[in-house]
């Protein structure tokens, strides 16, 4: 996976609760057999006013000027600010692929859906769960101040606001280590190959029908 250490990134607000992965990347784009190139279709139905198809040149499509991603002040954003239950619904990893391809490396929300949360780490995106009150404050400050940036540091697990105020976030030591170092998780797991084989011997002895 891609490593993540620290960024000082422009913040883009997506001010809706329960944003589902169908909204993040609609199904027609899931027909691709690649894992890159989804960025232009991120939030396709909210971002453009016509129907998007895979392979379409998005530079000429009519846009919804009210949608944050289309506004000049949020261009180049690396931090997405979101509401409760972000990424609910389908398990499609195309959602974090699209978010990452668009240039985001951090998502801050009061809560995330489980599968999406997990998928983020696999793609070098840091999902940060913050207090609803903190997220509210970030939304207000971000909307009031053009060029609003947050400094996100993984090793100290800290987000620092422009005012100098900061808050810390939780991450499991294993995830933190893997993300900081951009480690290949499959390679790491295969270091336990003997344990997996030993488990299989025991498992087969107790439930032989699982090894038809």
Partner 1 sequence: MAGKTLYDKLWDSHVVHEESDGTCLIYIDRHLVHEVTSPQAFEGLRMAGRKPWRADTLVANPDHNTPTKDWDKGIEDPISRLQVETLDSNIKETGALVYFPFKHANQGIIHVIGPENGTTLPGMTVVCGDSHTSTHGAFGALAHGIGTSEVEHVMATQTLIAKKSKRMLVKVDGQLGKGVTAKDVALAVIGKIGTAGGTGYAIEFGGEVIRALTMEGRMTICNMAIEAGARAGIIAPDEKTAEYLKGRQYAPKPEQWEQAVAYWNTLKSDADAVFDCVVELKGEEIAPQVTWGTSPEQVLPIGATVPDPAKEVDTTKRTSIENALKYMGLAANTPIEKIKVDKVFIGSCTNSRIEDLRAAASVAKGKKVAGNVVLAMVVPGSGQVKRQAEAEGLDKVFIEAGFEWREPGCSMCLAMNSDRLSAGERCASTSNRNFEGRQGPGGRTHLVSPEMAAAAAIAGHFVDVRSL
Interface ranges with partner 1 (CB under 8 A)? 1, 16-18, 20, 22-23, 26-28, 30-35, 45, 51, 54-55, 83-85, 88-93, 96, 111-115, 118-119, 122-123, 172-175, 185-186, 189-190, 192-193, 195-196, 199-200, 203, 206-212
Name which of 26 and 103 has its Cβ closer to partner 1.
26
Output the smallest distance, CB 8 to partner 1, in A: 27
Of 166, 171, 69, 161, which Cα lies nearest the Cα of 117?
171
Mind giving me the DSSP string for 165-186?
-EEE----HHHHHHHHHT--HH
Output the smallest distance, CB 54 to partner 1, in A: 6
Output the smallest distance, CB 97 to partner 1, in A: 9
Name which of 76 and 208 has its Cβ closer to partner 1.
208
Q: Which residues neighbour 102 within 8 Å (Cβ) at sequence distance 6 or greater?
A: 39, 40, 42, 69
Output the smallest distance, CB 137 to partner 1, in A: 15
In which element (H, E) is residue 80 found?
strand 79-81
Name which of 4 and 112 has its Cβ closer to partner 1.
112
Q: Which one-letter DSSP state was computed for residue 27?
A: G
Name which of 7 and 183 has its Cβ closer to partner 1.
183
Of 140, 125, 118, which Cα lies nearest the Cα of 42?
125
Helix axes 173-181, 114-121, angle to 10 degrees: 40
């Amino acid at each position: 996976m891609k490593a993540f250490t620290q960024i000082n990134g422009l913040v883009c607000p997506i001010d809706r609760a329960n944003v589902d992965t169908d909204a993040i990347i609609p199904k027609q784009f899931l027909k691709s057999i690649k894992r890159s190139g989804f960025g232009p279709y991120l939030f396709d139905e909210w971002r453009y006013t016509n129907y998007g198809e895979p392979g379409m040149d998005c530079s000429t499509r009519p846009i919804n000027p009210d949608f944050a991603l289309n506004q000049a002040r949020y261009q180049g954003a690396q931090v997405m600010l979101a509401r409760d239950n972000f990424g609910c619904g389908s398990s499609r990893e195309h959602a974090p692929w699209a978010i990452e391809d668009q240039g985001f490396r951090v998502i801050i929300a009061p809560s995330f859906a489980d599968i999406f949360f997990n998928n983020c780490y696999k793609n070098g995106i840091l999902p940060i769960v913050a207090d609803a009150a903190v997220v509210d404050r970030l939304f207000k400050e971000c909307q009031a101040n053009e060029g609003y940036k947050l400094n996100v540091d993984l090793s100290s697990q800290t987000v620092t606001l422009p005012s100098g105020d900061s808050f810390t976030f939780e991450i499991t030591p294993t995830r933190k280590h893997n993300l900081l170092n951009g480690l290949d998780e499959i390679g790491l797991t295969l270091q336990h190959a003997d344990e997996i084989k030993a488990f299989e011997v025991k498992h087969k002895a107790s439930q032989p029908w699982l090894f038809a």
